[in-house]
Amino acid sequence: MDEDLIETAIGRFGKYQTWILFLITVGRFPAEYQLNNVVFIIPYVDYKCLDNNVTNYCPCANPEYDTSTIVSSVTTEWNLICNRTYLASLAQSMLQVGILAGSLLFGYFSDRCGRKSVVVISIFSEVVFVVISAFVPYFWMFLVCRFLIGASLGGVMLCCYILLIELCGKSFRPYASGLSELPYILSYFALPVKAYFVRDWRNLQLVTAVPWVITIGYFWLMPESPRWLITVGRKREAVETLTYIAKKNGLPTNNIEDIVEKLELEIKNQQKTGNFIDLFRTPKVRAYTLIAAFVWMFCSHTFFGINQYIGRLQGNIYINVLLSAACLIPGLIIVVLTNLYLKRRISVISSFATASISLLIFIVIPSDIRVATLVFAIIGLTAAYMAFVQIYLYSSEIFPTVIRNSAIGFASMFARFGGFIAPFVVNIGIEWVSILIFSGVALAAAILCYFLPETKSITLPNTIEQREKPNEYVNS
């Protein structure tokens, strides 16, 4: 398990892996836009109640909305105010429900049918459903579209990451975890700029999706994961794929058949495919599955809660979001450095602890000190984001190839519970209660991470048997 034979065959991260990273980065933009656009398409909107000329008064049969910032939104089109405010939270949460379903569905088929086809289908279906959402005439149709968008998004987030991790060597994984976040950072930067010039929510949906119809061509550009091919016994295809990648990277190909045979020998007479039931068959995997599930749920709850809360802070919404995006860049750099020089558990625990503490400080700052409140809200968001990036890598190293997508899909399912609840917590109406909840769950996640194994610099395990070996990984 000390030598990564795939890295020996195709290199740690050469020209070909860089090309795949570029394709994934470009292809993920529509999905990443949907993760962040809630503050622009379903915003909190001030209104004047024409019944009695009082601002933000309920009940209100004749509202006149403030269109100075956002001309048209889901909130204003379907009057999601007063006793219909819960529908705005539901519209936000439906995306998380969809991601839950998509993570399970696409994760299962990725483990059973391969990484490539699932990556292409999820990316292209994301584009299709976003475009459809821009034309729906009824709110219930919009909810359905939000669910389908989320389902595709779940596949994009999960399967693109796994494909990238499985194409690079173990020595490059700390960098890969950071590079995989490029589409999120870039789209986060681009979104407020697009939203500033396109202030109608339907047009914004089209602008952030239509150009990406070309991703259907990815079916002919993406490779299958050689690790997955070897695990399921498709030796000839694995040799062909590894040979092709090695040539693109300028590496020798004469030893590739020997490498594949050696890897096949390692997993001979061991399980080649897995499913969700296998997550609970053996003691170590079962424990790690449950812990990872709750860590993901708490992380998602904190991140998406703070992300939506920033849209309500005083000041220019476009500048606030742009500043939030800018602050994620140093966070991403810190993630790469900590992955390189610190143990996985220390890195993740530190990020969760930082998020928790910064939110506690946020509570005690007077609301009229706008700069300070924005700073600590962004610190909390950045730390939660760092934790999210880290647990993707951490989880992919903990679980073996045969159930890796299923395991992360299961954890992602719990993450959606956290994301689903977040909008309702934001809308509690008592600021300190909302922030205290986000801080508390971040602290709980930090505590749970202590019970996960250390995985820095390990070769990715292929089978459950390798994961269960008592001395394979040291919990130190």
pLDDT per residue as tens digits for the range 303-361 = 888 887 776 666 788 988 888 888 888 888 888 888 888 888 999 999 999 999 999 99
pLDDT value of position 140: 96
pLDDT per residue as tens digits for the range 167-195 = 987 778 778 877 888 898 999 999 999 99
**Model confidence band, residue 401 (pLDDT cutoffs 50, 70, 90):** confident
User: Among residues 246, 184, 231, which one has the least CA distance to residue 8?
Assistant: 246
pLDDT surpassing 60 at residue 271: no
**Model confidence band, residue 133 (pLDDT cutoffs 50, 70, 90):** very high
pLDDT value of position 472: 47
pLDDT value of position 311: 64
Domains of the chain: 5-468 (1.20.1250.20)
User: Among residues 165, 162, 472, which one has the least CA distance to residue 288?
Assistant: 472
pLDDT surpassing 90 at residue 241: yes
Please report, rounded to a whole number, the percentage of residues in the chain having pLDDT higher than 70: 95
**Measured on CA atoms in the order 154, 33, 131, 135, is the torsion positive or negative?**
positive
Q: Report the C-alpha gap between 256 and 175 in whole angstroms.
A: 25
> Please, which residues have CB within 8 angstroms of residue 47's CB and are 6 or more apart in sequence?
55, 56, 60, 63, 64, 65, 66, 81
> Please, which residues have CB within 8 angstroms of residue 6's CB and are 6 or more apart in sequence?
166, 169, 226, 227, 242, 259, 263
Lowest mean pLDDT among 1-15, 165-179, 342-356, 460-474: 460-474
Task: Provide the 3-class DSSP secondary structure of residue 89.
Answer: helix
Determine which helix (DSSP H) or strand (DSSP E) holds 294, and give its type and residue range. helix 283-310
Burial of 140: CB neighbours in 10 Å, binned 0-12, 13-18, 19+: exposed
The CA distances from residue 315 to 318, 368, 374, 379, 380, in Å, are 9, 11, 9, 17, 18
pLDDT value of position 270: 56
Q: Report the C-alpha gap between 460 and 472 in whole angstroms.
A: 11
Length of the chain: 476
Q: Which residue shows structure tokens 């209104």?
A: 47
Lowest mean pLDDT among 14-28, 77-91, 313-327, 379-393: 313-327
Q: Report the C-alpha gap between 58 and 81 in whole angstroms.
A: 8
Determine which helix (DSSP H) or strand (DSSP E) holds 10, and give its type and residue range. helix 5-10
Q: Report the C-alpha gap between 164 and 293 in whole angstroms.
A: 22
pLDDT surpassing 50 at residue 475: no
Q: Which residue has the higher pLDDT, 278 or 144?
A: 144
Supply the mean pLDDT for the chain: 87
**Model confidence band, residue 404 (pLDDT cutoffs 50, 70, 90):** confident
The pTM assigned to this predicted structure is 0.79
Q: Report the C-alpha gap between 61 and 310 in whole angstroms.
A: 29
User: Among residues 295, 290, 291, 294, which one has the least CA distance to residue 387?
Assistant: 295
313: tokens are: 């802070």
**Measured on CA atoms in the order 468, 469, 472, 473, is the torsion positive or negative?**
positive
